[in-house]
Structure 1
Amino acid sequence: MKDLKNTTIVITGASSGAGRAAALKFAQHQCTLVLAARNETALNEVKGECEELGATVFVVPTDTSDAKAMIALANSVNGIDVWINNAGVLAAGDFDKTPMAIHEQVIKTNLIGYMNGAHAVLPIFKQQGAGILINNISIGGFLPVPYGAGYTAAKFGLRGWSEALKGELTECPNIHICDLFPAFLDTPGILHAGNHTGKVLKPAPPVYDPNRLADAMVSMVQDPRSNKYVGSTSMLLKVAHAIAPELMTKMTGLIMRRYLKNADPIKLTDGNLFNTVDYGMSTHGGFGLPGKPKAHRKYIAAALATGITAGLWLFKK
């Protein structure tokens, strides 16, 4: 699909962050977009922006954790070429001090929501004999996040589920399952997070522009591949964890504890886990350097890798 004009693309989590960035990127190709999220007001804002770029846009308010709602989303248009599983939530806190309802909701959205999407669209792809399913998994599919146990459970589960799905579809060469593993992104997601740490949360640097992930999504549609790592840091973190998993896990826990010890206090909140919010619905979260990827970020990633290697050595000593 080098020419994406008139391609029908469903994007979940399109109201903000990477999903919103993806909608705007695909709109430049004059695609037919089906935008899904819980926040209908924000979706309509994105719709207007995409229509100005020449796209045909449908808004379908959807809770991805609701299987019936996802089937209705899949049936909202005739024929789907691309389905992008992107909607996700965050929650942070000591595992035992965070209510189980919080952990369950993170898994329902971040894991079951993706499975609901695939379950709804794969019959359409099989009937057509073709289709592309893109899963925005994140480097969290390889690297555990201490104080985000529910999030880690969902992301590790996503990676395994997607691999199993790829095995099932080996006899369907024109149906592609594509997984994206971006590093930390400058999106409002962390502002929407359920926060039971009592401290202000910030993403770990270096933080990448969500437009970089949106570009990767467009690239996946034009030239599907099984996996793509977005940002040098993503691959470096994966390799570091593969080489020394125990040390990396201990080190990330140490870094998180030191950060939380020094961070500013904040009230506990469930964020957008159970209900949508009316703030921070932009593409960027204001934590990074908005704009196109710059060459110097590779040097930042290299410095990070050096720091990780040194830290692992010191920690081992």
Structure 2
Amino acid sequence: MVRRGPTFRGAVVLITGASSGVGRATALAFASQGARLVLASRSQEALAEVEHDCRARGGQVLVVPTDIADPVAVERLTQLAVQRFGQIDIWVEAAAVGIAGPLGSESVDEVRRLVDTNVFGTVLCARAAMATFKAQGQGVLVLLGSLLSVFPNPLVPLYSMSKFAIRGLALNLQQEVARHPGIRVSLVMPGPVDTPFFERAANHSGRQLRAIPPAYAPERLAATILACARRPRRQVTTGVVSHLALAANRMAPRVTESLVALWSATFLTRPAVAAPGSGSLFDPPPTGAVHGGYRRIRVRRQLGEWLGVAQARRNRPASG
């Protein structure tokens, strides 16, 4: 069962999208607390890197290369996790791909790949998690959404659409499990985060992508995910700016939507010209990383990472 003591020692945590960004930071945070980890992503090579780092922090690790858009692969992932550790206490759904550019600039294959991964893949994983939790009588599903499930960004309309779908799934699952007191579903809605996601998105904007300022450290999001795993919340975000945006949206939704859309579409790119590319939609990168390198000020980088690690150790929500 999920540990309610000082750490997650012994808890079985399955993380998709574990080779990079928030998923990788979350794996490292759980490993530091002695969790037993099942790590999934498309890249065997990148998973080997995370496995090494997690073992060095004291975690037990099973890596399962998985394309979450493949029903057979998701079923195999679930079976191997239960066979190895006997159960799954926490399932963190963090895998996603992105497309940047006005609607119609992308290929049909790119549209299909984004929907297959972000929507269909999330549904497959949620189904597997719910079936496992109901058989066990307990479990926590944490879905990684985005503030773009509340606010539009016309430069990434399809990615935003997929995050609206994830939020809709989370809200419905929360009602479904209301009669199962041992099962909880949390939705984490980050604003911009400093991860390699932006360099790996299919980019048809004609300019280089970057994390929208102020981008937060992935460790901050990892701390929020750990907090939700311990004390599940309906939906949560991280950082002062993100909280302010949600508060403003409750008071003046139309104005806030317009301002956020303008800001995010403007600052998602930098002036440098970029040739159209497919990022890692179809071929996973051979290596992964936690950070994308978009926080240029060294003190800010160090402070954000330290704060995230400290909050993860306390298992308290990463706010402020």
TM-score (structure 1 length as normaliser)? 0.87
| Cα distance change, pair 117–21 in 1 and its aligned pair in 2 (3 A) | same
Structure 1 portions without partners, runs of 5+: 297-317
Paired residues of 2:211 and 2:268 also in contact (CA < 8 A): no
What SS is found at the alignment partner of 2:61?
strand
| Cα distance change, pair 265–32 in 1 and its aligned pair in 2 (3 A) | same
Tell me whether 1:52 sits opposite 2:56 in the alignment: yes
User: Which residue of structure 2 aligns with residue 284 of structure 1?
Assistant: 291
Q: CA RMSD in A?
A: 2.1
User: Which residue of structure 2 aligns with residue 28 of structure 1?
Assistant: 32
Paired residues of 2:212 and 2:267 also in contact (CA < 8 A): no
Higher deviation after alignment, 92-101 or 26-35:
92-101
Distance 1:11 1:21 in 2: 11
Distance 1:198 1:228 in 2: 33
User: Which residue of structure 1 aligns with residue 236 of structure 2?
Assistant: 228
Distance 1:145 1:223 in 2: 31
User: Which residue of structure 2 aligns with residue 215 of structure 1?
Assistant: 223
Over the matched positions of the two proteins, sequence identity in percent amounts to 33
Q: CA shift at 1:83, angstroms?
A: 0.4
Distance 1:262 1:284 in 2: 18
Distance 1:262 1:208 in 2: 18
| Cα distance change, pair 129–256 in 1 and its aligned pair in 2 (3 A) | closer
Structure 2 portions without partners, runs of 5+: 308-320
Query: For residue 200 of structure 1, what is the amino acid of its counterpart?
Result: Q
Q: 108, 121, 142: which is aligned to 1:113?
A: 121
Paired residues of 2:210 and 2:270 also in contact (CA < 8 A): no
Query: For residue 125 of structure 2, what is the amino acid of its counterpart?
Result: G
Q: CA shift at 1:262, angstroms?
A: 6.6
Distance 2:149 2:240 in 1: 16
Q: 241, 253, 260: which is aligned to 2:249?
A: 241
Q: 140, 143, 146: which is aligned to 1:138?
A: 146
Higher deviation after alignment, 221-230 or 71-80:
221-230
Paired residues of 1:84 and 1:134 also in contact (CA < 8 A): yes
Query: For residue 108 of structure 2, what is the amino acid of its counterpart?
Result: M
Paired residues of 1:178 and 1:224 also in contact (CA < 8 A): yes
Distance 1:285 1:4 in 2: 28
Paired residues of 1:143 and 1:238 also in contact (CA < 8 A): no
The total of aligned residue pairs comes to 295
User: Which residues of 2 match residues 82-93 of structure 1 at below 5 A?
Assistant: 82-93=90-101
Q: 183, 188, 192: which is aligned to 1:180?
A: 188
User: Which residue of structure 2 aligns with residue 10 of structure 1?
Assistant: 14
Distance 2:19 2:261 in 1: 32
Distance 1:76 1:235 in 2: 38
TM-score (structure 2 length as normaliser)? 0.86
Query: For residue 51 of structure 2, what is the amino acid of its counterpart?
Result: K
